[in-house]
Each structure stands twice: as structure tokens, then as C-alpha cells.
């Protein structure tokens, strides 16, 4: 009965946000997820960041209807007494329910089939061209095509990571493993670790790892005050080396994007061989070994070292387009300091994301992520549905006077470079001596 219910206040809920004492609220019911954190498929960081508050909108966004049945075992017996649901959240929840009733989350289209076929065809052409042709131009073309393959494989790994591709969790996991670890050499465990935190804490300077690129890039002058990364658990020091690099970031942006894949390889190895608890560590390492077997063997089949270097650089140059796209989606979005909050979740997603406008025939190139806001609001929605819901999301933003940022690829690049240049100029004007021996300073400061 209603009179027998036990209640706690919003302020009392906030007290339960420490490791070993993690409480959350979903639709007015309070749950203790302290012991569940280590087993949470989305990672511990998500629960640590959202604990002590209502997380209804985030839960709806990331969990299928079947997940609700598992909440009962975490129920504390308490209900949240004084939480006020915003009008934006009410409309968002209504919209998510309508999409679910329409079957949009389950209607995956034929995207997975087309992706698998395209990956097989591209890999076959690359291998055939390297082994059977003696033409330098053919080998260059194969390197470029391999880059396209990596881009499309990354999109498939991304979609399956959000459980958009297959109807079965097991099949999605297989798709992640093959598309991510085996084909691209980037661990799906690393991707999940960082990507889930990014989604939940979109554009938080200290909680979102996708904005923490110090000492190379700084999208906000707040980084000049040596922010502590909650995600990595270390200080992002703005020292003379960082100041020098950031002062030139508008010049180094594109060159760094070309070799950005090297950083992803390094991050994969650092995570897999760290002491951190990692789901399916052995499987992830096996997948990485598969990649570092077939890729070096393929490169070794080229006739000389000049062609091998050309081949690798060509493939990396193509993947730079994807790295650029990822940064365009968020670098110029609004940023903030502090943890994400559940009661303005929708507003944070709209403020921190930028869509890329394009014709429908270019959707394959962007992998659905040109609809970045739509994806952030409904991450389980298959990419084939994102263009369909875009007008509805735009109308909802207009109704609540929230930004809906959509730029062409060219304009997004121009805006991003302007932002990087503005921050670079401010970094250059700061009264911090630039080291005379930058190489020595870099090694001794950052190891």
C-alpha cells in the first residue's frame, strides 16, 4: 500500500555514490548496485559516474525492455520522495516508448548483411591485389581499400557494441570480436571501456575520455589549469610541453589524425596487459593476435620496403577520415566540468553533439554517426532508423528551445579548426616558458 512505502530524499540518495555504496533511482524506485558494478556489461565507470542520482533517462536509452525484469533483485525497498521530472524528460521517455512500440529498435534492416558482404569483398580484393599484382598503383589502391575496410569494420564493431546489429547477444559479441579485434586490431574491451563513459558523460572535460587528448589537443582553455581526469585517474598536466603542442594544434590536427591509429593500437595493448579487471581478456588478446598475424604477413608480401611503407601510410590516411569525423561530432560542442547528471541528461546530449548533414547515399560513409545526436539519445537504435527519426528529434529540440546542431562536413571542419586555433592562440599568449629542448622535456615529463 502507498502509506507503507519507505521514502528517501534526493539529498539522501546523493550520499550513496562511493565505491561499495552505489545507489541509483529509476522511475522513483531506489536500487543498490554496489555489488553489480564489477559485473555491469557497460563497465564500472558508468555506475560510478551516475551513482547517487536518478538515472531513468540513461537506463531507458541503453537497456532493452528485457532489462527491467532484472532490477528487482537490486531494489532497496525505498522510493525517491522529491524528484521532479522535467518536461524534456517526460517527452523523451514518451518518444522512446513510441519508438519501441513501432518496433524501430528491433527492425535492423539488412545493414549487417551488407556490411559483412562488403568486408569480405574488400578483404578478398586487398589480399588478391597484394599477392597477384606487381603494379605499384594496384598496391597503393589496395592500401587505400584496406583503410576503407577498417573504417567500415569499425562501424560494424561500434553497432554490434551497442547491440544494434544482431538479434542475439552472442552473435553481437561475435561481430564485435571479429570486426574489432581481428580485422582492425583495436580491442572491443578498450572501446567499451571508453565509449560507454563517453556516452554517459558526453563532453565533460574531466569525465569524458574522448575529450582528454592532452598534451596534444585542448578543446577548452579549462585544460590550461591541469584538470584531473576522473576516467584515467591522473592529472592532465598543462606544462611547457603541453603548451607548445597545444599552441600548434590547429596545424597538427590533420597530420595527427593520419597516424591516430597508432595511438589506438597502443591504448589497446596498455589496457589488455594492465592490472585492470577486463571482461573476456583472453578472447580480446586472441583477437589482437589474429590481427597482428595476418596484417604483418600481408605487408611482408609486398616486394620492397618502400611499397610496404606506402601501403601502411595509405591505409592509415584513409582511416584519418573516421578519426576526423569522431572529433567533428564533439570538439565544437558545449563542454562542462564535473560528473554527468541524470536530471538534465537529454540537455547534455543536445549541447555536446554535432550532426553532419549529408545526402542519404552518403550514410554508408559516416556509418550512421552523422546523426550523432540521434545516436546519443537512442544508442540501441539501428543506424538504418536514424535518418527516419531525425525530424522528430529536431522538433523535440525546437519545442524545448534546445540546440540541434547540424553542419556540412566542410563547415564542421572549418568550425573545428577555428576552435582549435582560438585555444592555441590563448595557450601561446600564456606566461609559461617554452622548453628549449622539447624532445628531452617530452621524454622526461611524460615518460
313-330 pLDDT, tens digit each? 999 999 999 999 999 999
* Mean pLDDT, range 228-251, rounded to an integer: 93
Question: How confident is the model over 81-92, as pLDDT tens digits?
Answer: 888 889 999 999
Predicted pLDDT of residue 279: 83
* Mean pLDDT, range 435-443, rounded to an integer: 39
CB 301 within 8 A of CB 310: no
Do 174 and 273 lie in a common domain?
yes
* Mean pLDDT, range 405-419, rounded to an integer: 95
The DSSP letter of residue 28 is T
440 falls within a domain:
no
266 falls within a domain:
yes
Question: How confident is the model over 363-386, as pLDDT tens digits?
Answer: 888 988 999 999 999 999 988 899
Do 119 and 66 lie in a common domain?
no
427 falls within a domain:
no
Between residues 111 and 104, which one has the greater pLDDT? 104
- Inform me whether the pLDDT recorded for 404 exceeds 70: yes
The least confident of 250-264, 270-284, 319-333, 385-399 is 270-284
* Mean pLDDT, range 238-266, rounded to an integer: 94
- Inform me whether the pLDDT recorded for 129 exceeds 90: yes
- Inform me whether the pLDDT recorded for 112 exceeds 80: no
- Inform me whether the pLDDT recorded for 434 exceeds 70: no
404 falls within a domain:
no
- Inform me whether the pLDDT recorded for 342 exceeds 90: no
The DSSP letter of residue 435 is P
d(CA 194, CA 46): 10
* Mean pLDDT, range 5-31, rounded to an integer: 91
Do 115 and 80 lie in a common domain?
no
Do 144 and 275 lie in a common domain?
yes
- The domain boundary, picked from 283, 307, 328, lies at 328
Do 238 and 141 lie in a common domain?
yes
d(CA 28, CA 346): 18
d(CA 424, CA 6): 54
**CATH number reported for the structural domain that contains residue 31 in this entry:** 3.10.120.10
The number of beta carbons lying within 10 Å of the beta carbon of residue 21 is 12
Do 52 and 150 lie in a common domain?
no
Do 53 and 151 lie in a common domain?
no
Do 199 and 265 lie in a common domain?
yes
- The domain boundary, picked from 33, 65, 84, lies at 84
d(CA 269, CA 274): 8
Do 166 and 43 lie in a common domain?
no
Question: How confident is the model over 49-65, as pLDDT tens digits?
Answer: 888 999 999 999 988 88
Predicted pLDDT of residue 110: 66
285 falls within a domain:
yes
- How many domains would you assign to the chain? 2
Predicted pLDDT of residue 446: 36
Strands (E), 113-215: none
Do 68 and 117 lie in a common domain?
no
pLDDT classification of 437: cutoffs 50, 70, 90: very low
Predicted pLDDT of residue 198: 92
- Inform me whether the pLDDT recorded for 260 exceeds 60: yes
Do 199 and 304 lie in a common domain?
yes
Domain of 254, in residue numbers = 111-328
- The domain boundary, picked from 281, 311, 328, lies at 328
388 falls within a domain:
no
Say if strands 29-32 and 75-80 run parallel, antiparallel, or are unpaired: antiparallel
105 falls within a domain:
no
8 falls within a domain:
yes
Do 13 and 130 lie in a common domain?
no
| Mean of per-residue pLDDT scores for the chain | 89
Percent of the chain with pLDDT over 90: 65
Amino acid at each position: 500500500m502507498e502509506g507503507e512505502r519507505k521514502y528517501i530524499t534526493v539529498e539522501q540518495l546523493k550520499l550513496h555514490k562511493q565505491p561499495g555504496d552505489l545507489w541509483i533511482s529509476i522511475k522513483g524506485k531506489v536500487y543498490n548496485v554496489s555489488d553489480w558494478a564489477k559485473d555491469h556489461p557497460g563497465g564500472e565507470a558508468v555506475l560510478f559516474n551516475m551513482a547517487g542520482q536518478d538515472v531513468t533517462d540513461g537506463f531507458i536509452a541503453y537497456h532493452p525492455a528485457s532489462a527491467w525484469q532484472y532490477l528487482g533483485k537490486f531494489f532497496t525497498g525505498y522510493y525517491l520522495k522529491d524528484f521532479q521530472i522535467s518536461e524534456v524528460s517526460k517527452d523523451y521517455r514518451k518518444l522512446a516508448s513510441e519508438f519501441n512500440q513501432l518496433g524501430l529498435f528491433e527492425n535492423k534492416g539488412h545493414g549487417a548483411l551488407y556490411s559483412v558482404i562488403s568486408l569480405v569483398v574488400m578483404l578478398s580484393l586487398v589480399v588478391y591485389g597484394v599477392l597477384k599484382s606487381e603494379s605499384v598503383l594496384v598496391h597503393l589502391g589496395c592500401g587505400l581499400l584496406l583503410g576503407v575496410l577498417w573504417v567500415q569494420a569499425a562501424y560494424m564493431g561500434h553497432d554490434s557494441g551497442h547491440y544494434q546489429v544482431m538479434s542475439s547477444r552472442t552473435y553481437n559479441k561475435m561481430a564485435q570480436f571479429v570486426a574489432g579485434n581481428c580485422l582492425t586490431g583495436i580491442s572491443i574491451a578498450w572501446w567499451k571501456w571508453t565509449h560507454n563513459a563517453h556516452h554517459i558523460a558526453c563532453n565533460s572535460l574531466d569525465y569524458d575520455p574522448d575529450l582528454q587528448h592532452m598534451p596534444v589537443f585542448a578543446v577548452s582553455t579549462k585544460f590550461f589549469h591541469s584538470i584531473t581526469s576522473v576516467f584515467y585517474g591522473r592529472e592532465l598536466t598543462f606544462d611547457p610541453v603541453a603548451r607548445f603542442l597545444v599552441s600548434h594544434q590547429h596545424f597538427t590536427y590533420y597530420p595527427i589524425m593520419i597516424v591516430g591509429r597508432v595511438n589506438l593500437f597502443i591504448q589497446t595493448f596498455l589496457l589488455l596487459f594492465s592490472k585492470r579487471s577486463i571482461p573476456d581478456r583472453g578472447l580480446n588478446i586472441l583477437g589482437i593476435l589474429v590481427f597482428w598475424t595476418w596484417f604483418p604477413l600481408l605487408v611482408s608480401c609486398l616486394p620492397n620496403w618502400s611499397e610496404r611503407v606506402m601501403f601502411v601510410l595509405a591505409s592509415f590516411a584513409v582511416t584519418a577520415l573516421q578519426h576526423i569525423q569522431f572529433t567533428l561530432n564533439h570538439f565544437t560542442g558545449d563542454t562542462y566540468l564535473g560528473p554527468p547528471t541524470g536530471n538534465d541528461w537529454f540537455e547534455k546530449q543536445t549541447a555536446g553533439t554535432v550532426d553532419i548533414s549529408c545526402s542519404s547515399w552518403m550514410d554508408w560513409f559516416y556509418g550512421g554517426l552523422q546523426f550523432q545526436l540521434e545516436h546519443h539519445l537512442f544508442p540501441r537504435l539501428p543506424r538504418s532508423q536514424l535518418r527516419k527519426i531525425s525530424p522528430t528529434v529536431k522538433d523535440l529540440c525546437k519545442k524545448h528551445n534546445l540546440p540541434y546542431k547540424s553542419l556540412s562536413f566542410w563547415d564542421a571542419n572549418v568550425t573545428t579548426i577555428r576552435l582549435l586555433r582560438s585555444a592555441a592562440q590563448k595557450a601561446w599568449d600564456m606566461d609559461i616558458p617554452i622548453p628549449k629542448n622539447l624532445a628531452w622535456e617530452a621524454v622526461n615529463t611524460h615518460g
